[in-house]
Structure 1
Amino acid sequence: MTPIQIAIVGVGKIVRDQHLPAISKNADYRLIAAASRHGTVDGIDNFKSIEAMLEAVPAIDAVSLCMPPQYRYEAAHLALQAGKHVFLEKPPGATLSEVADLEALAAAKGVSLFASWHSRYAPAVEAAKAFLASTAIRNVKVIWKEDVRHWHPHQEWIWAAGGLGVFDPGINALSIVTHILPRPIFITSATLEFPENRDAPIAATIAFSDAGKLSVSAEFDWRQTGKQSWDIVAETDAGEMVLSEGGAKLAVDGKLVHEEPEQEYPMLYRRFAELIKAGKSDVDLAPLRHVADAFMLGRRKFVDVFYD
């Protein structure tokens, strides 16, 4: 089969660390162009805007959009309108409504739209899902705490309205939880901590439930120093399950039962190729919907100013 001629939009750290290596190692793709205001990719045509790229390189089959979510709708709309398949880096957009509009446009144009959630492809996530399906769940606790200065240094967009703040990493946890739990959950209460000088939260505590009154709690914090925490703990009739290191390891009652090398982005691009070949889309908005609900229901608490 002829390789999918793919282009990247928004050449930043995540593209260099994850997207470019994943594409280069997948025979389903051939990277032929990139568009970015500041970055470039060696060995291919580079442009300052997606408009210029789409006009100059009509052979593009698919576009991977990796710019901040506040700017993604317009680029995705342009690509879909031009008949290109579109891969959306997480979160898929700044609002639920704009992503729903993109999904409808993709269907009308007969192209694939993929709202990617990379943490769902962490090595032990499927094993955790299978374990929880095999037993009764008593409660679930999510502890997702990291150092924003380490992971997002000097990225002002992430603190702006629509940048999600601590929900940028927190949505990774939500993408896993919504995938591994057997029933849908919903938010019952939340407290969002906003630095006095920022328009996005630096921490959040959230309570969830489901139709069966399951208790699920989440603690997100961007002020963690030292060891970072990306854990989901479930008390079950079969013992305590700990999905740790962002989904990399699974333990039950302290015994490691699943661990594999990380392959999140290679698996995302395999999934995107499958969707294109099958003529389908994959746009699950559950994680983003929970973030929107947290902003809707959450009590706002102001905390000390925060400087990068």
Structure 2
Amino acid sequence: MAASFPYCGRFAPTPSGPLHFGSLIAALASYLDARANAGTWLVRIEDIDTPRAVAGADNIILEQLKHHELHWDGDIWYQSKRTEIYQQAIKQLEDQHLTYRCECTRKQIKALGPYYTGTCRNKNITAADTAIRFRNDDPIFSFDDGWQGHIKIDPPFAGEDFVLFRRDGLFTYQLAVVVDDIEQGVTDIVRGEDLLTATSWQLNLWRYFTERVPRFKHVPLALDDQGRKLSKQNHAPALNNDDAKEQLQAAMTFLGLTPSRQLSVPQLLAEAVTQWQARSFPETSQQDTI
């Protein structure tokens, strides 16, 4: 159980561009949850998908966090430097007969429906230029979330044999995020609700690597005027370091807190921590999840 470990949270942005307001909401929520629990707050750069990474974006992100007084603990981890660790993790799953190689293209999968249905499960494919999938024989269909409450996942999605290693030679987010969180001792994951459904896959991996599982809080997403999630892909404007106070106040308001207007940024964050401690969240018990 995560509760038996010292609190450790993290913020793990993808360096595909500067942080925007949606990113700030996730960063602030995870920061406040860590500080409200007298815990450690880590920052990890999730650049495992190297084609998406933009040169220099990691430094911009770190500077944005500093200007918003969101100071992290410990060293910055980069996923791109941890490929050997991910390979060892896949080998561990292979040894448990929990993986298989898949030669299906995205086009072939899409032609059969919204979910992958295990076409290559029993083909015993050995070719190296293929994907590696997790043999998802015991799916997690529900779990408790500290913000959203009890979550039920669509069974076809929860039971999909998801990819751990891509055909183009890259490890997937689903694998890397779990391996890193376990190794860094993360007990509490606070992030956007766009990752809510994928949590069932990640919890599934957690239990094969370790006996403990983390607590989750998935916060609401900020949307643009067209109802789309604020994202770099949708050209969300970057945070302005000169407007850190105003942006933090807006993020606090979005998260249901009440920011004072006359405080400095450090005072504002201290106030936010106090308010976060005072608010109530749904009771969660990952023990009931798995």
What TM-score, normalized to structure 1? 0.31
- Which has more helix, going by share of residues? 2
By relative contact order (CA 8 Å, sep 6+), the higher-ranking structure is 2
- Which has more strand, going by share of residues? 1
